[in-house]
């Protein structure tokens, strides 16, 4: 069966933390944060709010968007580096809260690239016939592992959850392919220790590698699929920094009007970043059915990945003749 994205949903905690809120706590300014990162505000969980509840809301929205029920879900795959507890993972709690009674449940950790790994796994399950509907979730509470006294990272991170329902489609290219990579030697540039779980980042070096790897991975994938930037209707790079998004889009020649700039309102939400960007784009009318979407992410590990998928019903893409251009979905 050909796998595609059938529905998308997202959820952000009610508490909004603006740059102005941080200026009182840190030696920083709204002007610096906006100029260097593009971020204006972020959402943080507070009190006894849980990431499981947030992820469940995103999943429920994705099911509604797809016109499916919790009982239709065969697997829940959650990409996160910040589950509510060290163990168990988020997926069992989310499936139970959702009412997905017969689902397989698993968390995975590929940092900011986690959602793309989840999509790849889900596509393989659907394509092989081992599952029919798989919820792929990116959910993070990065405010829990942020050093709120370190101005170089405290302004960068937010909490949020996004979910996509993957299932069989009858027309269009569907989930077309992925390109993944890693460089473990550079892990010391971005990490959080178990003993003191706070994100530490060599910002400038991470920036440089992020731009290079996201560009390369996207180029390789587009070439393998027989596509170029003109084929891409919408581009969702991991939302870490607006300058990184612009640098990658420019290197690939994707016009800015076809690029997600969700970081302004969410900050960096790691694995949640891409599904949050997809959900926002659909809400804003920038993702019509059949659109060809490119996604790319880079984060701790370093681990990175790029993916291409058509959006929902592929009929529109066939009409424009783009489906024929995509060669294969295998990696």
Min dist. Cβ of residue 30 to ligand ACO (A): 10
Catalytic residue among 19, 59, 75, 112: 112
Q: Which is nearer to ligand ACO, 57 or 268 (CB)?
A: 268
**238 vs 302: CA distance, rounded Å:** 14
- What is the SS3 assignment for 308? strand
Nearest to 58 by CA among 44, 78, 83: 78
Min dist. Cβ of residue 51 to ligand ACO (A): 15
- What is the SS3 assignment for 141? strand
Min dist. Cβ of residue 223 to ligand ACO (A): 24
Catalytic residue among 43, 238, 241, 262: 238
**20 vs 33: CA distance, rounded Å:** 10
Region of 11-19, 33-41, 115-123, 174-182 interacting with ligand ACO (CB under 6 A): 33-41
The DSSP 8-state label assigned to residue 253 in this structure reads: T
| CA-to-CA dists, residue 129 to 1, 124, 246, angstroms | 6, 8, 39
Contacts of residue 100, defined as CB under 8 A and 6 or more positions apart, other chains included, come to: 59, 70, 71, 73, 76, 135
Assess 299 for contact with ligand ACO (CB under 6 A).
yes
DSSP string, 274-307: HHHHHHHHHHTT---TT-EEEEEEEETTTEEEEE
Q: Which is nearer to ligand ACO, 155 or 294 (CB)?
A: 155
**291 vs 236: CA distance, rounded Å:** 13
Near ligand ACO by CB under 6 A: residue from 15, 36, 40, 132:
36
Assess 309 for contact with ligand ACO (CB under 6 A).
no
Name residues contacting ligand ACO, limited to 75-114 (CB under 6 A): 112
Establish whether 133 is a catalytic residue: no
Q: Residue length, the chain? A: 331
Establish whether 112 is a catalytic residue: yes
Near ligand ACO by CB under 6 A: residue from 19, 143, 268, 309:
268
Q: Which is nearer to ligand ACO, 153 or 310 (CB)?
A: 153
Name residues contacting ligand ACO, limited to 185-214 (CB under 6 A): 190, 203-204, 206-207, 210
Establish whether 238 is a catalytic residue: yes
**275 vs 326: CA distance, rounded Å:** 23
Min dist. Cβ of residue 202 to ligand ACO (A): 8
Binding site for ligand ACO (CB under 6 A): 28, 32-33, 36-37, 112, 151-152, 155, 190, 203-204, 206-207, 210, 240-241, 244, 268, 270, 299-300
Q: Which residues are catalytic?
A: 112, 238, 268
């Amino acid at each position: 069966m050909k796998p595609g994205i059938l529905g998308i949903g997202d959820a952000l905690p009610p508490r909004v933390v603006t740059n102005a809120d941080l200026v009182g706590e840190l030696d920083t300014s709204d002007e610096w944060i906006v100029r260097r990162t593009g971020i204006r505000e972020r959402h943080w969980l507070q009190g006894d709010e849980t990431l499981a509840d947030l992820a469940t809301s995103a999943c429920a929205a994705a099911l509604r968007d797809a016109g499916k029920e919790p009982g239709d879900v065969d697997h829940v795959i959650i990409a996160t580096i910040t589950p509510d507890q060290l163990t168990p993972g988020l997926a069992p709690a989310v499936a139970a809260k959702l009412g997905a009674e017969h689902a397989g449940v698993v968390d995975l950790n590929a940092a900011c690239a986690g959602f793309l790994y989840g999509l790849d796994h889900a596509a393989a399950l659907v394509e092989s016939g081992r599952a029919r509907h798989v919820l792929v979730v990116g959910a993070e509470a990065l405010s829990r592992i942020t050093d709120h006294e370190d101005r170089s990272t405290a302004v960068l991170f937010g909490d949020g959850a996004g979910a996509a329902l993957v299932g069989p489609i009858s027309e269009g290219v569907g989930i077309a392919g992925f390109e993944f990579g890693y460089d473990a030697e550079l892990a010391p540039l971005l990490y959080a220790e178990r003993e003191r779980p706070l994100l530490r980042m060599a910002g400038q070096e991470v920036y440089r590698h992020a731009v290079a790897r996201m560009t390369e991975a996207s180029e390789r994938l587009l070439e393998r699929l027989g596509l170029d930037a003109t084929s891409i209707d919408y581009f969702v790079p991991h939302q870490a920094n607006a300058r990184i998004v612009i640098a990658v889009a420019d290197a690939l020649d994707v016009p800015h009007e076809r690029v997600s700039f969700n970081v302004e309102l969410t900050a960096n939400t790691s694995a949640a970043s891409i599904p949050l960007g997809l959900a926002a784009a659909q809400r804003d009318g920038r993702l019509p059915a059949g659109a060809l979407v490119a996604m790319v992410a880079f984060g701790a590990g370093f681990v990175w990945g790029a993916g291409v998928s058509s959006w929902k019903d592929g009929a529109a893409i066939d009409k424009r003749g783009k489906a024929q251009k995509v060669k294969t979905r295998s990696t």
